[in-house]
Structure 1
Amino acid sequence: MRIQPLFAVLAILALAGCAADPAPTEQFRLTEQALEQAKAVGATDAVPELKLAEEKFARARSDMASQSFKHARMRAEQAELDARLAEARVLTQKSEEQLSALDARVNRLRKQLGEVQ
């Protein structure tokens, strides 16, 4: 007779454990958005951070399919951060290229002005 209450308590604890980690659907949406944004600014698979983000997101999807929601959330968060880092690296590289081009123009103008004077 005492075994039944024990099973009931274990069942309640198991259900409470499942409720503690809901499916990370919102995090998945944010990660997908970060990946799209990184690609929109020019990140490709040649950018290591983007490749890493896609790999982590694939593992997060696998965790989601096996209902390992805690791992899925953590990997999706990591993938989002990696995608944002990829985006930042691409934007930084583009800014550096623009700065270099502007610097070259300024140097040409200085030479031209020096020749005129």
Structure 2
Amino acid sequence: MSTLYDNIGGQPAIEQVVDELHKRIATDSLLAPIFAGTDMAKQRNHLVAFLGQIFEGPKQYGGRPMDKTHAGLNLQQPHFDAIAKHLGEAMAVRGVSAEDTKAALDRVTNMKGAILNK
């Protein structure tokens, strides 16, 4: 039985999705300011590992827990919604099926409390 990680295309596909997501974040007036001053190469590596792990891939994420990482950012529902929208679009652009995109977004949504530090 294949995992969501496998269905999406594994590490190379997740890297492409994250690269596309970062392009979208950079042009989003709500999200871009949150990432100002962020080392985006480091953030990319963390996000690729994090998504890979929650999509049933290798356990490579070694960053801080999400609530600690996002502490002090005052992230709100509109921020989460924008990221989820961009992530879904990035997955579609990179050829991830609608079914797998929904499954991926469901997993991200399950972590919303930690992501928003609520």
TM-score, length-scaled by structure 1: 0.26
The normalised TM-score by structure 2 is 0.26
Structure with a larger share of its residues in helix = 1
User: Which structure's relative contact order is higher, taking Cα pairs within 8 Å and 6+ residues apart?
Assistant: 2
User: Which protein has the larger Cα radius of gyration, Structure 1 or Structure 2?
Assistant: 1
